[in-house]
């Protein structure tokens, strides 16, 4: 006799809530990162349009000033500690200030050209990226060697010397990988994510988290929808309760975020 196909096992509500909780936290982090990138792009656009070709020089001068402040702070910290390692690091940074300024200047103008002529910069971007990798590795190796004079870690010293000896090949490898990615990166467009909305199975009125009126997890919005009141009132009561309970409301909110399911009629990001 043919066996009936087994129905896929459903995840427990708690497990599903934890999964939704982690995904929504990840989405919040992605949203914050995108907003920061947007603000950074707006700042860069304003700086680029305001100062033009002088902008990279000004930003390089600002960068070297910040580095000088950091070196001075390191010296003040080491004044009380008297660490030979920190002193070696301080001396290395101080003696290579001119080189750091040239590095800042080079990559600042590279960024300026990338915004002024995106199509032209696209052809040299892998070379610039490979050069940035090599320069970063070289600075890290030299800083470590200055510090390792006092630590005498032979294994790490050997690794540093090996990497320094292969910087030429690292540059070519990084550049080749960059050009391969440039040539074939756009040939496989990503698939659009389909959003499916499931229907509630029962007509029993349940408490859901709101996907249409939410700031974090939609707990207050869902509770307001359940009680048919203004969500602002629920949020104000939650803030007051959290302050009076010395932060216990935050724990209660996270627990509700995990336990209370999403409203299946609302649009969610994942």
Of the candidates 97, 217, 88, the residue with the CA atom closest to the CA atom of residue 145: 88
How high is the pLDDT of residue 96?
A: 86
How high is the pLDDT of residue 251?
A: 74
Burial of residue 60 (CB within 10 Å: 0-12, 13-18, 19+) is buried
CA distances in angstroms from 206 to 196, 223, 243, listed in the order given: 20, 10, 28
Compute the distance between CA of residue 172 and CA of residue 169 in angstroms, rounded to an integer.
5
How high is the pLDDT of residue 263?
A: 79
How high is the pLDDT of residue 72?
A: 87
Bridge partners (DSSP) of residue 209 are 262
The two structure tokens encoding residue 65: 């000033």
Mean pLDDT in order along the chain per 10 residues (270 residues): 53 67 73 71 67 79 88 84 82 86 84 73 80 84 79 78 84 84 61 47 69 80 84 82 71 78 74
CA distances in angstroms from 35 to 24, 49, 62, 193, listed in the order given: 16, 21, 24, 22
Residue that the structure tokens 């680029």 belong to:
48
- Residue 93 has a CB neighbour count (10 Å cut-off) of 19
Q: For the whole model, what pTM was predicted?
A: 0.49
CA-based max dimension of the chain? 86
How high is the pLDDT of residue 196?
A: 46
How high is the pLDDT of residue 195?
A: 46
The two structure tokens encoding residue 116: 């002024």
- Residue 231 has a CB neighbour count (10 Å cut-off) of 19
């Amino acid at each position: 006799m043919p066996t009936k196909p087994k129905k896929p096992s459903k995840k427990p509500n708690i497990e599903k809530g934890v999964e939704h909780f982690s995904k929504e936290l990840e989405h919040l982090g992605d949203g914050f990162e995108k907003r920061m990138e947007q603000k950074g792009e707006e700042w860069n656009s304003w700086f680029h349009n305001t100062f033009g070709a002088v902008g990279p020089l000004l930003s390089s001068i600002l960068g070297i000033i910040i580095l000088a402040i950091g070196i001075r702070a390191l010296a003040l910290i080491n004044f009380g500690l008297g660490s030979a390692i920190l002193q070696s690091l301080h001396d290395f940074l101080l003696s290579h200030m001119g080189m750091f300024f040239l590095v800042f200047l080079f990559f600042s103008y590279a960024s300026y050209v990338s915004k002024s002529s995106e199509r032209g910069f696209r052809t040299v971007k892998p070379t610039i990226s490979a050069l940035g990798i090599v320069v970063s590795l070289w600075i890290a190796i030299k800083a470590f060697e200055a510090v390792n004079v006092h630590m005498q870690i032979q294994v790490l010293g050997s690794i540093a010397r090996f990497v320094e000896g292969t910087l030429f090949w690292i540059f070519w490898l990084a550049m080749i990988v960059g050009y391969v990615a440039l040539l074939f990166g756009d040939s496989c467009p990503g698939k659009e994510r389909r959003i499916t909305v499931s229907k509630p199975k029962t007509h029993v009125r349940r408490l859901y988290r709101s996907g249409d009126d939410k700031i974090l997890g939609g707990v207050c919005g869902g509770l307001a929808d359940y009680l048919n009141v203004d969500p602002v009132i629920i949020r104000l009561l939650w803030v007051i309760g959290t302050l009076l309970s010395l932060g216990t409301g935050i724990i209660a909110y996270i627990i509700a975020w995990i336990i209370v399911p999403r409203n299946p009629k609302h649009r969610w990001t994942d």
